[in-house]
Amino acid sequence: MKRLMVLTVLGLLLGCQTTGDGDESVDLTQIRADRINGHFEQGETAQAVTTAIDGWNDGLFSDNQLTRWLLDARGAMLDEYRQAIVAKDFPTALRASGNIHILSDEPWGAYLPALEESVQSDEELGLAWAVHLLDHGEPVPALSVLTQRGALDDVSSELLFDFLDAARSTNNFAAFRAIAEALRVRGSEEEFPMTGGTPADMLGGTVTVWVNRGIRIDNGVGVPDRSIGSGFFVDPRGYIVTNYHVVESEVDPEYEGYSRLFVKLPGNPDDRVPARVVGYDRIFDIALIKVELDPSYVFSFSDTRELVPGERVFALGSPGGLDSTITSGIVSASGRRFLQIGDAMQVDVPINPGNSGGPLVLPDGQVAGVVFAGIEQFEGVNFAVPAYWIRAILPNLFLEDSVVHSWLGTAVREVADGLEVIYVVPEGGAERAGVVTGDVIRGIDGVAVAKLAEAQDVVVRRRSGELVPVEVVRGDDLVRLLVDTSDRPFSPVEELLREQRIDRLFPVLFGMEVDEVREAPWGADYVISAVYPGSIADESSLSVADPFALRRWQVDRELRAAFIEIIIKKRKAGFLEAGVQLGAYLESDRFL
């Protein structure tokens, strides 16, 4: 039987090893078996599966041993699934169900007997979750779950009418259109009118977000420390979307000062309504806060992935604390790579401090994105987080916690035929599976991917601990892999630099690969072996075969950047020696 290479997230980097005296060989099979059993004991079922498959691929285990572990894993997943169904814990049920179905597919299904009980599909569980949320008075996350699960063909007309009413009551245009169309296909003759609010109506759904951080000392003088931003209602129960950085002091464990969160309603600048942070996502700079009042208007997010440059948009918010302000302009560009995950939208709309967290609205009233403060190196240029990405995380924001994303443990760059692996996280899934730089990812979870945003779109919707199929091209071979995802750190580069030298991260930070050389202490440390087009190294005129010595490096956590100082002999400059400083932001967008 042909062995399939499998990408594992928790395995063991093993080779031929000996004990410290060099005389006695280590029993690799027993070490790997102990690791698998340890995963089972810790409840890390998906990691146990991938570690067992990895050992089987290495020839350490027989087919019978693999079958036994796969049976144990499926049994544990079934127990998790049953308990989650009873507890109405649908995210956990979805993870367990997905893993069970993957083990039932080829090739691993050939090692296991058929399931003796029915396990619901993602679509069935998604519908059950949406109905549960709707029944418990949570229409916004209910509609989000319903529309993200796919087609509505399997939903009864009675339920569709219930969801249609929920969409109408929350001004959810995207959900309303999808549900109304499903009902029309079934021959319904009822009219489904829905129109957006007027600009005055929409301003009634915006707020000024105001955080009082007490007094700070500036040049020996105490001055009020305030954070002012904008927000907008997305749920009739008083839930408001804003930027994370506006309310950061409320939830940042490293902040030790005074912090109180309020919102000011339109037309009432002197009244402060207490608010609390419900959920937040640092990577997308989004937070969900709540006040105890009924809004006069609620917004919903557009389902459009990218807007056409030149399309008209409006920004609503409180620039400088001036509430009920509308400015207009156009979309300048989409697909700007400023976020660690996904992309940003560039807009030509007058935006000032205080607009952060406000809605960027289309003429029909749908929210196209959430405005965030301009990026320092692009003064006068304004940006927004597209609604498409916020829709993906919206249900998680209601779970009253920090949103934690999953990842595969590798960094990539876009090339002509896919996503080339340029870095593999030490002791992460890709490394323990034997994934190497140069592999080209073509598909994730059955979805073809050619762009970073496409791959991140798939991964961002997966949960930690899920088994995810991946396809890579290695040489002339198309290899099928299997990943069990884990929690992604907020700043992977920052975490990795705590454990390893910065030269290991040159491909991610500066876009260059290097070979280490051994010369006199005053000579070169490295020779550049590759420079990625458009990278920092490329823009600094570094080229292949340039030798350089690394003199100093530092991480500035206040600036959120890493810097290196090198002495290099550039080939393009006749190998004349020169000092060069390179800097890169820590929040890299290359990780999957």
Q: Assess contact for 327 and 342: CB atoms under 8 A.
A: no
Output 129-136 pairs: Cβ under 8 A, ≥24 positions apart.
129/90, 129/94, 130/163, 131/159, 132/88, 132/90, 134/162, 134/163, 134/166
Q: Assess contact for 153 and 127: CB atoms under 8 A.
A: no
Amino acid of residue 278? V
Q: Which residues pair with 261 in a beta bridge?
A: 211
Q: Which of 300, 356, 486, 535 is catalytic?
A: 356
Amino acid of residue 184? R
Task: Look up residue 589 and give its DSSP letter.
Answer: S
Nearest partner of 395 among 519, 262, 301, judged by Cα: 301
Kindly calculate the radius of gyration of the chain based on its CA atoms and give it in whole angstroms.
Answer: 26
Told to judge if 25 belongs to the known catalytic residues of this protein, a careful annotator would answer no
Structure tokens at 388: 């498409």
Q: Assess contact for 261 and 251: CB atoms under 8 A.
A: no
Told to judge if 464 belongs to the known catalytic residues of this protein, a careful annotator would answer no
Bond before 107 cis per omega within 30 degrees:
yes
Nearest partner of 542 among 567, 517, 505, 508, judged by Cα: 567
Q: Assess contact for 196 and 324: CB atoms under 8 A.
A: no
Told to judge if 249 belongs to the known catalytic residues of this protein, a careful annotator would answer no
Name the one residue in this structure whose structure tokens are 């030790």: 256
Please state, in angstroms and as integers, the Cα–Cα distance from residue 97 to each residue in 46, 125, 328, 406, 465, following that order. Answer: 12, 9, 46, 18, 12
Helix (H, G, I), strand (E, B) or coil at 580: strand
Q: Which of 54, 235, 281, 285 is catalytic?
A: 285
Q: Which of 144, 162, 245, 457 is catalytic?
A: 245
User: Exposure string (b/e) for 347-360, b if CB count within 10 Å is 16 or more?
Assistant: bbbebbebbbbbbb
Instruction: Phi first, then psi: give them for residue 196, nearest 5 degrees.
Output: -75, 165
| Active site residues per annotation | 245, 285, 356
